[in-house]
Structure 1
Amino acid sequence: MQGRATGTGGMLRRVIPSTAPVLFVSNGTAEDLIGARLAGLLTRRVRYSPLVGEGRAYAALSDATRVGRVLRLPSGGFPFGSLDNLRADLRAGLVGESLGQWTDATRGASETGTVVVVGDAYALMVGTVAARMRRLPLVHVQPLLSAHYLDGLGLRGALRELNALGANRPMPYELRLARGADAVFVRDAATERYYRQRGVAARFAGSFAMDVLSVPERDLRLPAGRPVLALLPGSRDDHRESLPLMLRAAALLPEVTPVVAWPHIWDAVTLPGGWTLEHHGDAEAMARGEGTSVTLVRRAFGAVARAADIAIGTSGTANEQLAGLGVPVISFATRGPQYTAGFARRQGRLLGASLSVVGASAPELAAQVRALLGDPSRQARAALAGLTRIGPAGALPVIAAEIERLALSPLAPHSKGTRR
């Protein structure tokens, strides 16, 4: 059923059918997961336009339809993480295919009642065009920017991270777009204050990262009596470099129980030289080498996260989730595509004392694990920093209720492109 236009004070607005689906526009693995969890709380059908990858998280929903083309980027969605990332993505058709996605999203909005953007300024631009051309309500969920990224950055730091300028702070055009949205939700209280000081009526309703953290999927059957060391190589290709180093560090720590939260297929496991991998079914494997055995588990991140006493991670969201549980996290930079030196610095500013960034060597990692485990006061500071900076869960039900309200509310007329 098509919506029709009615006039109010000489302005046209669209009357939306009460059964119209919601269009989600998101651009990244974590963003897709947040969007899919949010969509699962709605009472209406869902369309989704993933701007990076296939949006597999949405595919698990029973009544979700993908619209538009699929853009597979070698960088995994981090074209500005490094010059190599950008070159590879440009060769993969970044510009042409991205422009096509704008058209796809606008067409996808034609039968929907609300547009929900989960992502950064680029996703917000795409979603804003789709919403405005179809005169639809617009909700922006911004899970990436944090005012904490500016903590101690300074001019020198900003110049060193010019490629991440828009990731460290919202650009003026993003703030302007956000002012035109019907609702804006941000990731922490500090960012809510930052946005409000700049004229955006943003809300912090809880941590998106903690909202999508799964409950323990199963009993890991880990031996008692030793601290559990969670190894988090992440969902990006950084794992090819970081997992072998994590395993070598674990071999230097006989006093802990290491377990890898593995998000890929077993064939993707990269081992240090001389190590072997034994499959124990589809969900568990054992890596052996240097006198050590390390368990790898699939589809059990929630169980690993809640069992951990300390973690080594080269991941974005997973590191934040462990910190949000009060678990100290140790990290090191890789050659990318995601967890580069710049990314590690930025995450260090975000997580404060809950994250320790060290050199990429097994002895340094092992030494840092021992130092943390042997210092209860430092563990307490790390736990407090993670709990306060990430914050509690609870945002997604609030956002879902706001989407339902907007989907049933008459759309106010536009004024110079800004919704009042």
Structure 2
Amino acid sequence: MTPAPVLFISNGTAEDLIGARLAGLLKRPVLSSPLVGEGQAYAELNGARRVGRVLRLPSGGFPFGSLDNLWADLRAGLIGESLGQWTDAVRGASDAAAIIVVGDAYALMVGTVAARKNRLPLVHVQPLLSAQYLDGLGVRGTLQELNALGANRPLPYELRLARRADAVFVRDAATQRYYQQRGVPARFAGSFAMDVLPPPERELHLSAARPVLALLPGSRGDHRESLPVMLRAAALLPEVTPLVAWPHTWNAVTLPDGWTLQVQSETEARATGEAAEVVLWRQAFGAVARAADIAIGTSGTANEQLAGLGVPVVAFATGGPQYTVGFARRQGRLLGAALRVVEADPAALAAEVRTLLSQGTRRAGAALAGLTRVGPAGALPVIAAEIEALAQSGRPQVHSPHI
């Protein structure tokens, strides 16, 4: 007899990836309800079935990153389509054995409604919040980042919802302590970011004579602005081997003026200009990440993964939609000495890379900060076992008709 499915609700590219990797560890059918975008990570799972409508947002899932992002999303039908997704999730969970939320407070609200309506166990995987975002924030910082208030710390309603979940998993040990002090029996079982870091996909055939500089433009639209700056910075560093981990199609490559792109294959291309040649790799993030000695990144999860490998990351803010000034500032608090944010200038980036490579003590401090703040992999098998146990135990008693 086929076991009942579990429903995954997630709201973001990284969240979808974590959910899909987690779903792949389960021995039961999978339903998915991605609240932002196509949910491509779930689509790649054999037999996974999508529940509900697709919400395509101009902001890429960051409506509160700026007023422009919010206005664009509202014009795209954010409110009406989002409410429709709540209904879709409730209906889609009617035959499920459990609901798994991978995401923020909003996703948890949707999952809580669906779980209560269908009397199902609820597991919350919170890969976004970290108590480390509060390091040195203070009152002034809080006022500067009012649009990220719920991203910097769990708000009272999120804590209330989390207390009612059957299991809560958080991204680091500091956040476990923060939640537990507020009555949420949260657990840190390992880093979600490191769990979804892929193994090396191919041999890159690199020379051992020069350090490798990984360029991480990210999966969001920031790459259109950040890749040209990164390439020009790499051209100022002839002592390194620069590699771009490119997650898009070749048609999406934006080059600096005077540069050209030669596509070698579906997975390899070469950008040349200013007396430099930089190799771009598709479907090779795991290989590039593990080859890197240092990185320049305008990415969320990828920056964290490189830091988690002990690789120092240099970053700069873009006009968005993701890696804005506020986002860069917040990631700096998350990663500490593992991340250095400088101005969006090729010369400034090159100078920071050269300094880190030449100062062994500073580089070692950055590596240690990344390893300790991000933490090791290992969470997803623990969470998968918890889900199986809850799904087999049956429907829980509803504590109250109110959320």
Specify the TM-score bucket, using the shorter chain as the normaliser: over 0.9
Distance apart, 1:107 and its partner CA: 0.6
Match of 2:246 among 262, 279, 291: 262
* Alignment-derived partner of residue 12 in structure 1: none
8 Å contact 2:190–2:376 — kept in the other structure?
yes
CA deviation string 1:198-254 (max 9, x = no partner):
000000000000000000000011222000000000000000000000000000000
CA deviation string 1:116-172 (max 9, x = no partner):
000000000000000000000000000000000000000000000000000000000
CA deviation string 1:83-121 (max 9, x = no partner):
110011011110100000000000110111100000000
Match of 2:260 among 276, 283, 289: 276
Matched, 1:406 2:390: yes
* Alignment-derived partner of residue 13 in structure 1: none
* Alignment-derived partner of residue 323 in structure 1: 307
Distance apart, 1:418 and its partner CA: 8.8
8 Å contact 2:8–2:31 — kept in the other structure?
yes
8 Å contact 1:329–1:354 — kept in the other structure?
yes
* Alignment-derived partner of residue 11 in structure 1: none
CA-based RMSD of the aligned residues comes to 1.1
Matched, 1:123 2:123: no
Matched, 1:172 2:159: no
Letter matched to residue 182 of structure 1: D
Letter matched to residue 109 of structure 2: M
* Alignment-derived partner of residue 92 in structure 1: 76
CA deviation string 1:369-420 (max 9, x = no partner):
000001000011001100000000000000000000000113332223599x
- Which consecutive residues of structure 1, in runs of 5 or more, have no partner in the other structure? 1-16
Q: C-alpha distance in 2, partners of 1:318/1:38?
A: 19
* Alignment-derived partner of residue 57 in structure 2: 73
Match of 1:416, SS? Answer: coil
Distance apart, 1:19 and its partner CA: 1.3
Matched, 1:314 2:309: no
Letter matched to residue 9 of structure 2: V
Q: C-alpha distance in 2, partners of 1:286/1:54?
A: 29
Q: C-alpha distance in 2, partners of 1:18/1:413?
A: 24
Letter matched to residue 302 of structure 1: G
Q: C-alpha distance in 2, partners of 1:155/1:411?
A: 43
Matched, 1:397 2:381: yes
Matched, 1:194 2:178: yes
Normalising by the residue count of structure 2, what TM-score does the alignment of the two structures yield?
0.99
Q: What aligned pairs does 1:319-398 form with structure 2 within 5 A after superposition?
A: 319-398=303-382
Letter matched to residue 51 of structure 1: L
Matched, 1:210 2:210: no
Letter matched to residue 152 of structure 2: N
Q: C-alpha distance in 2, partners of 1:45/1:346?
A: 37
8 Å contact 2:9–2:33 — kept in the other structure?
yes
Normalising by the residue count of structure 1, what TM-score does the alignment of the two structures yield?
0.95
Match of 2:93, SS? Answer: helix
Q: C-alpha distance in 2, partners of 1:416/1:98?
A: 25
Q: C-alpha distance in 2, partners of 1:392/1:21?
A: 29
Match of 2:100, SS? Answer: strand
Runs of 4+ in 1 over 4 A off after TM superposition: none
Q: C-alpha distance in 1, partners of 2:81/2:397?
A: 33
- Which consecutive residues of structure 2, in runs of 5 or more, have no partner in the other structure? none
Count of equivalent residues: 403
* Alignment-derived partner of residue 29 in structure 1: 13
Q: Could you tell me the percent identity over the aligned residues?
A: 77
* Alignment-derived partner of residue 9 in structure 1: none
Letter matched to residue 376 of structure 2: P
